[in-house]
């Protein structure tokens, strides 16, 4: 399997602090956990993976792109193939749930709007939130917002799915529901790699991780 993320002795500078050195190698199809010590580390990792903050030392490659030599096009390429789900990157507040779900696809594809709407509706229906399709995010519960974020990701094609603090504050049945949906999606394309960033990975016993690293 091809290596899609390779971090060697990477030290991220974020909000005036430097994170401990990170060594990580993610191959296609792997499920990897990153256990973090602090909130700041989660935010730093999120912003690093989506190229919002590239202030770092060490050697970092994502999809073969050297992160110390990026330009607008290469950043777009990374963001296109890497889907980050976190409440820190929320739904757009002035769009309805269904509009949030199909926004990315609508923006990047030429398909007719009706077809895009139907696809989005099928996805939110499979996640059990179709009855809320017309509501703004302010009227959704935290769990429903997480489902909507998941639906937004399922609308597009990606190679890496990063779930950052996605399972926090959820009971076991809800965690299981989300894990089942993610693994179900992964079965459709077994090359998709999944990275889970959480404070305590032991709270996710239902996932069989290929690797666990601590930051």
Q: Give the binding site for other proteins (CB under 8 A).
A: 50, 52, 76, 79-80, 84, 88-94, 99, 103-104, 106-108, 113
Q: Are strands 193-198 and 31-35 parallel, antiparallel or unpaired?
A: parallel
92/203 with CB nearer other proteins: 92
Maximum Cα–Cα distance for the chain, whole Å?
48
Shortest Å, Cβ 78 to other proteins: 10
Closest CA to 156 of 195, 132, 196, 189: 189
CB 90 to other proteins: min, Å: 6
82/193 with CB nearer other proteins:
82
Quick one: 147 exposed, middle or buried, by C-beta within 10 A (0-12, 13-18, 19+)? Answer: buried
- Give min distance, CB of 155 to other proteins, in A: 10
Which CB sits closer to other proteins, 139 or 176?
A: 139
Pick between residue 40 and residue 207 the one whose CB is nearest to other proteins. Answer: 40
Is 117 buried (19+), middle (13-18) or exposed (0-12) by CB count in 10 A?
middle
Q: Rounded to the nearest whole angstrom, what is the least distance from the CB of residue 107 to other proteins in the complex?
A: 4
- Looking at beta carbons only, is 30 or 47 nearer to other proteins? 47
User: Nearest distance from residue 106's CB to other proteins, in Å?
Assistant: 5
Considering the complex, what minimum distance in angstroms separates the CB of residue 82 from other proteins? 9
CA distance 213 to 128: 33
Nearer to other proteins, 80 or 191 (CB): 80
């Amino acid at each position: 399997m091809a290596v899609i993320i390779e971090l060697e002795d990477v030290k991220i500078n974020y909000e005036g602090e430097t994170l401990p050195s990170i060594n990580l190698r993610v191959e296609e199809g792997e499920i990897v956990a990153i256990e973090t010590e602090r909130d700041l580390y989660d935010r730093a990792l999120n912003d690093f993976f989506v190229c919002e903050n590239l202030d770092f030392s060490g050697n970092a490659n994502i999809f073969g792109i050297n992160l110390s030599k990026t330009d607008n096009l290469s950043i777009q390429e990374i963001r296109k193939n890497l889907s980050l789900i976190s409440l820190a990157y929320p739904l757009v507040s002035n769009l309805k749930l269904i509009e949030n779900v199909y926004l990315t696809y609508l923006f990047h594809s030429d398909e007719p709007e009706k077809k895009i709407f139907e696809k989005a509706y099928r996805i939110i229906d499979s996640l059990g939130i179709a009855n809320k399709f017309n509501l703004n995010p302010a009227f959704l519960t935290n769990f429903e917002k997480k489902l909507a974020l998941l639906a937004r990701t399922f609308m597009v094609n990606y190679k890496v799915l990063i779930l950052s603090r996605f399972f926090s504050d959820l009971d076991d049945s809800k965690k299981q529901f989300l894990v089942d949906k993610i693994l179900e999606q992964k079965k459709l394309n077994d090359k998709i790699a999944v990275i889970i960033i959480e404070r305590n990975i032991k709270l996710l016993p239902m996932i069989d991780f290929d690797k666990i690293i601590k930051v």
